[in-house]
Structure 1
Amino acid sequence: MKANVGGVDKVLRMVLGVALIAWAAMGGPAWAWIGVVPLLTGLFNFCPLYALLGMNTCKVRS
């Protein structure tokens, strides 16, 4: 797994993920637990969809 998520993309994913998880935990809709996905892609700097599409927002190519 090569890093393909970086910079602003990473921060936005983590903020969105935490916000959705918090919403779900406070009684929001069950689908809000999908926030786990952007949170994990931000934490691990890897997005499988980006890999399939050949995208990379990481400045340091690893």
Structure 2
Amino acid sequence: MKKNMGTADRIIRTILAALFAILYFTNVITGTVGIVLMVLAGVFLLTSLISFCPLYAPFGLRTCATET
């Protein structure tokens, strides 16, 4: 897999994942919406860690500046 996520994209996804987790664990968001947001938070965190977003690949999107 080639890296297709830049630093800003990774930081934004990590912040959103943390925000979703905080909202869920403080019971601000509960039920089905809470579970969906937690799954999304997990996906955001995973894609941030590996610097690759599978949804970007078919469309040829890249948010990183250098070719790796």
- Smaller-chain TM-score bracket: 0.7 to 0.9
In the TM superposition, what is the alpha-carbon distance from 1:24 to its structure 2 partner? Answer: 2.0
Larger radius of gyration: 2
TM-score, normalised by the number of residues in structure 2: 0.78
Q: What CA deviation, in whole Å up to 9, does each residue of 1:3-45 have, x standing for no partner?
A: 0001211110111112112222333222221211111111110
Q: What is the alpha-carbon distance in structure 1 between the residues aligned to residue 22 and residue 50 of structure 2? A: 20
TM-score, normalised by the number of residues in structure 1: 0.84
In the TM superposition, what is the alpha-carbon distance from 1:49 to its structure 2 partner? Answer: 0.3
Runs of 4+ with deviation above 3 angstroms: none
> What is the aligned residue count?
62
Q: Unmatched 5+ residue regions in structure 2? A: none
Q: What is the alpha-carbon distance in structure 2 between the residues aligned to residue 11 and residue 4 of structure 1? A: 14
